[in-house]
């Protein structure tokens, strides 16, 4: 097919339920309007080339399976190769990816990139994929980046909106649809999710009844946050989010930087704030309405943190051709 095929997918944050989800409780995951995209051209060469600003490029020869270039782009190439085999296309792909969201900020940029690559590659070959096919293809890359991903980052990039995830039951859509204005603040500190999961587990095992109560508190907060947002009660949602952060701090997964962001955001007028994701670094979110969001942005910048506004995206991945 001629021309260029484009796709964009939303990124995400966890509104509530991180860590407790490991123990069978629900997590609320929200799609952000900060998009990650891909542009794909079908070529006559038997190779797949992926490039991205700041990462360089990687090329895979489909005949020899020999590749060269920046290995960080290999997962995107493998997503494309999976699709080439599935659809039975000939030739190869030129893929360019980009992001309107910061990399390594805990907003699921990698999954969104793989969903965009998958959607655009399918469409470039004239195949309209089902959501299941897109999910399967994007997970090829996601498994290369994360050892044992739940798939929730890929799912939210495909569907948009807010989804509830329970390990034993999988994904289900939430009825939350209203505006949720957030400021996402990146600590700039890298962390390993596995280390934070282990720290949470150790505290739970050693903390006795108090730790069990805090765990149940987080689970209860998740259901209350969902209910508050379903009714557009941002004031209540903000209070619950800050309480969620305090509970996560009990388990040792917060950091001085995350605490500083949360407390300073509330001091500046945010309705609430919390770490999002595994903790130990990564990002925090502040629920900030109107001009307060600008005050929080300015305050975070003065503290030396990268911050940006984001809202709920009710639209998942979009794909088009030019």
Q: How far from chain centre, in Å, is Cα 204? A: 26
The model carries a pTM of 0.90
Helix H or strand E segment including 165 = strand 162-166
* CB-CB contact of 65 with 43 (8 Å): no
pLDDT of residue 193: 80
Helix H or strand E segment including 272 = strand 272-276
Q: Which DSSP string corresponds to 32-76?
A: EEEEEEEEEEEESSSEEEEEETTTEEEEEETTTTEEEE-GGGHHH
Rounded Cα distance between 75 and 296, Å, is: 36
* pLDDT tens figures, 49-68: 999 998 899 999 999 999 99
Q: What is the mean pLDDT of the chain?
A: 93
In CATH terms, the fold of domain 5-175+314-321 is Ribosomal Protein S5; domain 2 (3.30.230)
* pLDDT tens figures, 183-217: 999 998 877 788 899 999 999 999 999 999 999 99
Q: How far from chain centre, in Å, is Cα 279? A: 14
From the candidates 33, 46, 70, 153, which is the catalytic residue?
153
Residue 276 pLDDT > 70, yes or no?
yes
Residue 2's pLDDT band (boundaries 50, 70, 90)? low
In CATH terms, the fold of domain 182-310 is Alpha-Beta Plaits (3.30.70)
Residue spans in the chain of domains classed CATH 3.30.230.10: 5-175+314-321
* pLDDT tens figures, 204-260: 999 999 999 999 999 999 999 999 999 999 999 999 999 999 999 999 999 999 999
pLDDT of residue 189: 86
Residue 1 pLDDT > 60, yes or no?
no
Residue spans in the chain of domains classed CATH 3.30.70.890: 182-310
Rounded Cα distance between 206 and 221, Å, is: 23
Rounded to 10 deg, the angle between the 74-87 and 131-145 helix axes is 150
6-24: average pLDDT = 94
DSSP state of 268: T
DSSP state of 235: H
Beta-carbon contacts of residue 40 (< 8 Å; ≥ 6 apart)? 4, 5, 6, 7, 80, 93, 94, 95, 96, 117, 120, 121, 124
Beta-carbon contacts of residue 279 (< 8 Å; ≥ 6 apart)? 18, 19, 191, 196, 248, 253, 254, 255, 258
Task: Say whether 233 is catalytic.
Answer: no
* pLDDT tens figures, 74-123: 999 999 999 999 998 789 999 999 988 766 667 888 999 999 999 999 99
* CB-CB contact of 317 with 134 (8 Å): yes
């Amino acid at each position: 097919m001629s021309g260029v095929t484009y796709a964009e997918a939303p990124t995400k944050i966890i509104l509530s339920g991180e860590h407790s989800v490991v123990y069978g409780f629900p997590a609320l995951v929200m799609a952000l309007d900060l998009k990650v995209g891909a542009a794909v051209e079908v070529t006559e060469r038997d190779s797949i080339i992926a490039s991205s600003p700041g990462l360089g490029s990687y090329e895979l020869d489909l005949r020899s399976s020999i590749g060269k270039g920046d290995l960080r782009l290999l997962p995107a190439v493998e997503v494309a190769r999976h699709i080439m085999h599935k659809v039975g296309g000939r030739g190869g792909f030129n893929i360019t990816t980009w992001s309107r969201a910061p990399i390594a900020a805990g907003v699921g940029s990698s999954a969104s990139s793989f969903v965009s690559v998958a959607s655009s590659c399918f469409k470039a070959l004239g195949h309209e994929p089902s959501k299941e096919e897109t999910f399967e293809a994007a997970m090829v890359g996601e498994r290369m980046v994360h050892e044992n991903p739940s798939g929730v980052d890929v799912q939210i990039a495909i569907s948009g909106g807010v989804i509830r995830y329970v390990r034993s039951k999988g994904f289900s859509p939430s009825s939350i649809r209203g505006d949720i204005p957030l400021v996402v603040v990146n600590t700039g500190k890298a962390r390993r999710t596995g280390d934070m999961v282990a720290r949470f587990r150790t505290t739970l095992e050693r903390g006795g009844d108090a730790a069990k109560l805090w765990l149940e508190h987080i689970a209860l907060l998740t259901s209350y946050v969902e209910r508050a947002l379903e009714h557009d009660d941002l004031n209540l949602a903000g209070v619950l989010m800050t309480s969620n952060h305090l509970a996560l701090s009990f388990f040792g997964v917060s950091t001085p930087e995350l605490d500083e962001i949360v407390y300073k955001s509330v001091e500046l007028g945010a309705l609430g704030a919390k770490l999002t994701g595994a903790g130990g670094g990564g990002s925090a979110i502040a629920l900030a309405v109107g001009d307060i969001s600008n005050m929080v942005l300015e305050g975070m910048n003065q503290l030396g943190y990268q911050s940006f506004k984001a809202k709920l995206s009710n639209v998942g991945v979009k794909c088009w051709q030019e």
